[in-house]
Amino acid sequence: MTDSLDALLTLPDYSALAWSAIIFSTYLTGISKGGFAGGFGSLSVPLMALAIGPLEAAGILLPLLLVMDFLSSRAWWGKQLWSEVRIILPSAAIGIAVGVVLFDELDENMIRGLLGVISLLFAAYMLFKPTASKPLPRWLAIPAGATAGFTSFFAHAGAPPYNLYMIPRQHPKETFIATTVIIFAGMNLMKLGPYVALGEINLTSLSTSLLLVPVAWAGVRSGLWLQSRVNEKLFFRLIIIAMALVGVQLIYKAWG
């Protein structure tokens, strides 16, 4: 019991640069969870992976995501579209299950490289965001949800495949945000058990997560406040540049 308490109270010996990346990533994720610049929380794990192990970063972030999900779900509850939730969440469960099966086959550098590729693809997607003249067929929610579940399992980066399906569906903004919040909250809950079983969430990682809860809360509140007050397009451009730079650096670090 004493050893467990000591582990929970012991913070990892990260550098100042690593702590800065972790704090900024957490705050950015909170902003995204609050509904502002949705999807750009996908930058968090790649950014943190520049300073610490990618799986370690994902383990620290998941409890915080669950806190943010609770806060943002309360703010958006009642505006979600259940018909989308019911088809995407089960599909995401398939992708998460595939991630669990492949977990032991990928080493840290392979995951860094994967994160780098995801970051570059995400930046390209946001830069050249495809449009559709009419909503996509509902069956595409299955491969989109499964792919989102897979990338979310390794990097909490399910937004690109999810958005490829959801944005052309042309839902009203509030419906889109609320549905997205509920779906990703469900995904994160599904990842909790595997993360604990695989050791990615442990007492030491939880000590870091607990320390960052106020940062997560501030990020969600900031996201809610920023929606009607800040130029979202400018913010998008800055984050696209950051995603591309982080992606290149991760690939270099993995295979350079």
Q: Is 90 exposed, middle or buried (0-12, 13-18, 19+ CB in 10 A)?
A: middle
Token digits for 39?
């999807």
Looking at residue 54, its pLDDT comes to 79
Longest Cα–Cα distance in the chain: 61
With CA atoms as reference, report the closest residue to 187 among 221, 229, 152: 152
Main-chain phi, psi angles of 53, to 5 degrees: -60, 140
Looking at residue 134, its pLDDT comes to 65
Looking at residue 72, its pLDDT comes to 78
Looking at residue 196, its pLDDT comes to 93
d(C-alpha 57, C-alpha 47), whole Å: 9
In this prediction the pTM is: 0.77
What 3-state DSSP class applies to 27?
Answer: helix
- Write the DSSP assignment of 90-107 as a string of letters: HHHHHHHHHHHHHGGG--
Q: Where are the alpha helices (DSSP H) in the chain?
A: 2-9, 16-33, 44-48, 54-76, 82-102, 108-127, 141-155, 159-166, 173-197, 203-211, 213-226, 232-255
What 3-state DSSP class applies to 191?
Answer: helix
Looking at residue 230, its pLDDT comes to 65
- Average pLDDT of adjacent 10-residue blocks, the chain of 256 residues: 51 81 86 68 75 84 87 84 94 95 82 79 71 70 91 81 80 85 93 92 89 88 75 68 77 76
Looking at residue 133, its pLDDT comes to 55
